[in-house]
Amino acid sequence: MKQPVTFEITHICKQSGARTGILHTPHGDVETPMFMPVGTQATVKFISPEELYDMGAGVVLANTYHLWLRPGEDIVAKAGGVQKFMNYKGPMLTDSGGFQVFSLSDTRKIKEEGVYFRNTLNGDRLFLSPEKSIEIQNAIGADIMMSFDECIPYPADYDYVKNSMERTLRWAERGKAANRRPEEQALFGIVQGGDYEDLRKYCAEKLVEMDFPGYAIGGTSVGEDKKTMYRMVKWSAEALPFEKPRYLMGVGAVNDLLEAVSLNIDMCDCVLPTRIARHGTLMTSQGRINIKKAVYKDDFTPLDPNCDCYCCRNYTKAYLNHLVRTQEGFGTRLMSIHNIRFLLKLMEDARTAIKEDRFNDFKHEVLSTMKFDERGF
């Protein structure tokens, strides 16, 4: 069977072992490693699809759960799929809806057949299963789909994680069988297993036996410390096939992205850049800036002299400070543009460093120059 998404490794850094590659998709080729902006409701907050494409976004995410509730997957399908619906020219990925469902811990009931829960908008009873998740994602039409899994909380005891992981494997098999568009949409399996090496590796090995075109690493960045997170990613990545793409879910802090690249992760996503922008927090080549501070009130320099984004080319810190203090939406828009472009460029620079066999030097330079705190932003 022809695979809709394939992966080509183009260079392995002699200094670090990190890699660059090309993800070939029905909507174009994208270089890896890459950061993927999150467009939860078929929109990345405050940024147009055309702007995303022009700033080099590559793959953009949409959220299965939210599009299922509004406007409904049938509407997206009638539009010709999510790319046509939102007018994005590049590749797209949909999550399974599992993370949103499992975050509703007060109302959900997890059964072997799927998860019962309540609509967060109107309280209606809903049911989501592996088959239903794939049915919705087939209708949405993104290039890459994700298996329905349980995002395991941290910490969790061994027996809970083992039972959950084994159910996730059964759900992955059911979801794969339910895919009605396997030649148009690639379905990735998701490695779970909490902070237990044997469970992580067992899960990865069983998913590999199912022969997915790519694999995601889930259940990280859910409250654990950095050392624990990196350990879980390392265990998972080591058990996955080297020649297939790896996607680390929900990661967007600078230190996490660079560590992921070191561990041969090819794709990362996070809502972080737009979320912190809404509160006036900006990632720059000099480190984190809280633009609300009075020190920026009469600072007429660009936000980041090393950034090529629309915001940094045209506006000053003083103007951004004014927009934030007066709660003008244009300020949030400018800061969202900057934070997204900052992470896209970070990964562009990482790819260049890998190709020049100096990724370890690049990683050290970034982390020492930017002076971010442990959170990485």
Residue 279 DSSP class: T
In the chain, the largest separation of any two C-alpha atoms, in whole Å, equals: 61
For 113, phi then psi, to 5°, come to -75, -25
Note if 95 is an active site residue: yes
Annotated catalytic residue within 143, 149, 266, 269 = 269
- Give strand ranges (E) for the chain: 6-12, 19-25, 28-32, 34-39, 60-62, 92-94, 109-110, 115-118, 125-128, 144-146, 186-191, 215-217, 246-248, 267-270, 281-284, 287-290
Q: What SS3 state is found at 322?
A: helix
Q: What SS3 state is found at 11?
A: strand
Annotated catalytic residue within 95, 143, 149, 195 = 95
Structure tokens at 355: 């190709």
Residue 147 CB-half CA count within 13 A: 31
Spatial neighbors of 166 by CB under 8 A, at least 6 apart, are none
Contact of 183 with 1, CB cutoff 8 Å: yes
Q: What SS3 state is found at 236?
A: helix
For 268, phi then psi, to 5°, come to -140, 155
b/e 319-342 (16+ beta carbons within 10 angstroms → b): bbbebbeeeeeebbbbbbbbbbbb
Q: Give the distance, in angstroms, between the CA of residue 350 and the centroid of all CA atoms in the same chain.
A: 17
Bond prior to 37 in cis (omega within 30° of 0): no
Q: SS3 for 47-67, per residue? A: CCHHHHHHCCCCCEEECHHHH
Structure tokens at 377: 């932003």
Long-range contacts of 223-229 (CB under 8 A, 24+ apart): 223/153, 223/154, 224/154, 224/155, 224/195, 226/255, 226/256, 226/374, 228/154, 228/195, 229/256
**Residues annotated as part of the active site:** 95, 269
